[in-house]
């Protein structure tokens, strides 16, 4: 097998192991029931993962006969809202598992036979990379469903690393142009393309995401507690994956809506960064003027760089990832918590929908706000310095936090 073919097969396999963990940790009742009207039953996500793989890899790339064309409509996310999915005649747990396994066998067979080389290499290899990212994104969605599930804990992981450096205050990002988005990142999705130059005036950005301790002050002043916080005479507790424990003061706050993030920033006399500001803080290297793939450089994320991939089931305290900081000293931009930015989800100049409008273009507009950087539940395959996530501004069942920013005054630049 070629290197690319082997790498794709390994990524498909690694990703399927994660889906298995998330769907085998609970019993069949828990798989088919709806844990929140905001989420699909886990068994829907599982069969939807298989159906997307059937549509893109087995039918489109492979040109094979359908495995189950009779169920396409059940797993079309545009056809049925999440709240309506439990009432559909969905595949049961056993059928769903058999279905995704059959589709996977055929997809691997397509992978063996397809010409990855040649003119259509990018398109064909890209379809496999997109399926890996799609499954990982649904795995993160299933992790958020686990977070909403009542009952005894079923998932476990070692605690995140401790803080080893003191990170506080803000960092000045000098004004001037930088390259936003990408035209060269192999697995980047349509909405991350193309690379384009944006002139960003000087601004200050928090060196770390807003912490539980900082956010608790805002709650004491009348702000809304994050989802999953529980009041206790001794302070705030949080229930996470079935375990209730005191909030970790130094860890980034999680499960906050865009609206509350924005209100917090105003209360603190600051504002949220724009999407361009966030990406400049994350990627711009003042020494070369180049935009890096990640804050720490061009290497793929390792466990020393960022809290990604469900290795831990919580954000790590601020100061736990010094090796992941940007050249300007901005920490934990990648991993831990998705960060709300004050920008609507829109196409970059020169945007072209690929492979079709339904992936991102139909979501462009003022209804959705952008989140950047990925969370502890985001896999590295679905997280880049250019990666863009989006959601409604009221949503907080996702692993969402934020950091704040402010304009730099002329006096501060002199």
To the question of whether residue 290 is assigned a binding role by annotation, the answer is no
Q: How far is CA 174 from the centre of its chain?
A: 28
Q: Which is nearer to ligand AVJ, 318 or 383 (CB)?
A: 383
Least CB distance to ligand AVJ at residue 23 (A): 16
The residues, ordered by sequence, that sit 6+ positions from 371 with a Cβ below 8 Å of its Cβ are 338, 339, 340, 341, 388, 389, 390, 391, 398, 400
Tokens 């996702």: give the residue.
Answer: 398
Q: How far is the CB of 79 from ligand AVJ (least distance, A)?
A: 13
Q: How far is CA 305 from CA 49, 159, 255, 258, 294, in A?
A: 29, 16, 23, 26, 10
> What are the backbone angles phi and psi of residue 240, rounded to the nearest 5°?
-130, 120
Least distance from ligand AVJ to the Cβ atom of residue 400, Å: 11
How far apart are CB 266 and ligand AVJ at their closest, in Å?
A: 26
Asked if residue 134 belongs to a known ligand binding site, the reply is yes
CB nearer to ligand AVJ: pick between 208 and 398: 398
Cis peptide before 332 (omega within 30 of 0): no
Instruction: Give me the least distance between CB of 345 and ligand AVJ, in Å please.
Output: 9
Q: In angstroms, give the least distance from the CB of 389 to ligand AVJ.
A: 5
d(CA 411, CA 330): 23
Q: How many angstroms separate the CA atoms of 205 and 83, rounded?
A: 38
79 annotated to a ligand binding site: no
Residues in the site for ligand AVJ, rule: CB under 6 A?
134, 137-138, 141, 389-390
Q: Would you say 307 or 389 has its CB closer to ligand AVJ?
A: 389
Residue 293 contacts residue 380 (beta carbons within 8 Å) = no
- For residues 305 and 395, which CB has a smaller minimum distance to ligand AVJ in the complex? 395
SS3 state of residue 322: helix
Q: Are strands 203-206 and 176-180 parallel, antiparallel or unpaired?
A: unpaired
DSSP 406: E
E strand intervals along 92-139? none
- The residue (of 141 and 179) whose beta carbon lies closer to ligand AVJ is 141
212/234 Cα distance (integer angstroms) = 15
Q: Between 130 and 207, whose beta carbon lies closer to ligand AVJ?
A: 130
Residue in the shown chain whose Cβ atom is closest to ligand AVJ:
137
Which of helix, strand or coil describes residue 348?
coil
Helices 42-53 & 121-148 angle (0-180, nearest 10): 180
80 annotated as belonging to a binding site for a ligand:
no
CA pair distance 292, 147, nearest whole angstrom: 33
Q: How far is the CB of 136 from ligand AVJ (least distance, A)?
A: 10
> Between residues 55 and 219, which has the closer beta carbon with respect to ligand AVJ?
55
Pick out the residues of the known binding site.
48, 82-85, 134, 138, 391, 395
- Could you tell me which residues are annotated as the binding site for Fe cation? 48, 134, 138
Q: Which residues sit in the known binding site for gamma-L-glutamyl-L-cysteine?
A: 82-85, 391, 395
């Amino acid at each position: 097998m070629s290197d690319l073919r082997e790498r794709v097969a390994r990524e498909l396999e690694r990703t399927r192991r994660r889906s298995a963990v998330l769907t085998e940790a609970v019993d069949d009742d828990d798989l088919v029931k709806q844990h929140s009207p905001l989420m699909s039953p886990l068994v829907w996500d599982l069969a939807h993962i298989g159906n997307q793989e059937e549509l893109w890899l087995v039918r489109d790339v492979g040109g094979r006969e359908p495995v189950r064309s009779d169920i396409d409509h059940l797993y079309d996310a545009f056809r049925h809202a999440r709240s309506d999915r439990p009432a559909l005649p969905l595949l049961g747990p056993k059928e769903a598992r058999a279905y995704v396994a059959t589709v996977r066998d055929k997809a691997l067979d397509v992978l063996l036979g397809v010409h990855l080389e040649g003119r259509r290499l990018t398109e064909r290899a890209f379809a496999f990379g997109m399926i890996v990212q799609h499954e990982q994104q649904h795995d993160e969605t299933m992790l958020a469903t686990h977070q909403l599930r009542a009952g005894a804990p079923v998932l476990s992981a070692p605690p995140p690393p401790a803080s080893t450096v003191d990170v506080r205050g803000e960092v000045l990002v000098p004004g001037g142009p930088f390259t936003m988005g990408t035209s060269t990142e192999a697995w980047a999705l349509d909405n991350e393309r193309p690379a384009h130059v944006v002139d960003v005036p000087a601004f200050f950005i928090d060196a770390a995401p807003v912490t539980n301790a900082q956010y608790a002050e805002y709650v004491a002043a009348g702000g809304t507690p994050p989802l999953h916080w529980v009041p206790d005479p001794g302070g705030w507790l949080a229930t996470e994956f079935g375990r209730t424990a005191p909030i970790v003061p130094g860890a980034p706050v999680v499960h906050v809506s865009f609206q509350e993030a924005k209100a917090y920033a105003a209360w603190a006399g600051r504002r949220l960064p724009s999407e361009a500001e966030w990406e400049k803080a994350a990627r711009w290297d003042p020494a070369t003027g180049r935009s890096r793939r990640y804050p720490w450089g061009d290497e793929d994320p390792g466990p020393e760089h960022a809290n990604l991939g469900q290795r831990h089931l919580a954000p790590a305290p601020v100061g736990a990832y010094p090796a992941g900081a940007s050249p300007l000293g901005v920490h934990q931009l990648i991993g831990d918590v998705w960060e709300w930015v004050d920008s609507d989800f829109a196409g970059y100049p020169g945007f072209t929908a690929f492979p079709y409008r339904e992936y991102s273009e139909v979501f462009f507009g003022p209804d959705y706000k952008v989140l950047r950087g990925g969370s502890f539940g985001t896999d590295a395959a679905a997280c880049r310095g250019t990666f863009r996530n989006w959601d409604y501004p009221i949503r907080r069942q996702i692993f969402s936090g934020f950091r704040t920013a402010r304009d730099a005054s002329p006096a501060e630049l002199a």
